[in-house]
Structures are given as structure tokens and as C-alpha cells.
Amino acid sequence: METILVLIYTTGSRPLSYAYSYTINFYSDATASIKIYRGYENSPTYSDKTDYDIAVLENKISILSALPEHETTPLLTEGERREIIYVDNGRTLRRIITPEDRQAIKVYEQLLLLFDEDFQVLISNQTYDT
């Protein structure tokens, strides 16, 4: 079994830090299990064991790890930043992204959709204060 952990989180001026983490386990029978955690109050845990084409999923993960860093863009609000931490067999890639505007946040939402459409439920429950 191979395990990949993806953690996406936001820190900033809100009373709570928002975090999502995904643990993806690949099995030798060409299935994968996905466990999702929302890192704030009353966080539900979502898990799924489905047949996935591992080659496709690995390609999507490589897209994730290749995202550009936006170190020079201004912070979203009062020091808020988002980080993507991707861990693959002990190798860690860190991306710090500080979006220019609320539209740029969609980058993170699209990351959720890279893996499974069921993540849309989590996206639809996530709100951003103005």
C-alpha cells in the first residue's frame, strides 16, 4: 500500500484556521481509499473506497505538486495565507500561495475537484467572509 497525504489550510484573521486534509491510500488491486478531514468545528470525516485508475490519479497529483508559487502577490486579508503541503513517500513539497483576490481562492477549490467530485460537497459548505 502507498499512502499520499495532501493538506490544504488557511491561516489568517479569522477566529479559526480552516484546513482540509486528504489521505489517499493506493492498493495493489488498483483501488484507492480517500479519507477527508475538515479542520474546524464539528468537522465531518468523509471516506470512500472506490475503483480508481491509479495512473490518472497519479497524474493529477503530479499536477498538484507542480503548481506555481505566488510569493510576490499581496496577502488576501490581514496576513491570511494558504499553504499546500504534499507528502509522497517522505518527500515533502510545500507551496505557499497568497491570492490577490477572492477569485484566486478558486485555485484551491479546483484542487479538491482534482481527486473526486464528491469534494464538491465540502466546497459548497465553505464560505468566505467579506
- The pLDDT value recorded for residue 22 is 58
The total domain count for the chain is 1
The CATH number that applies at residue 43 is: 3.30.1560
Per the structure, the complete domain to which residue 107 belongs is given by 2-125
Asked, for residue 12, whether it belongs to a domain, the answer is yes
> Does 93 reside within a domain?
yes
pLDDT tens, residue by residue, 32-49: 565 555 544 444 444 444
The pTM for the full model equals 0.31
Residue 54, in any domain of the structure: yes
| Of residues 127, 18, 24, 11, the one with CA closest to residue 80 | 11
Which strands, in side-by-side order, build the sheet including 45-51? 45-51, 31-38, 18-26, 2-11, 81-88, 91-97
Q: Determine, yes or no, domain membership for 25.
A: yes
Q: What is the pLDDT of residue 121?
A: 38
Residue 130 lies in a domain: no
Q: Is residue 37 part of a domain?
A: yes
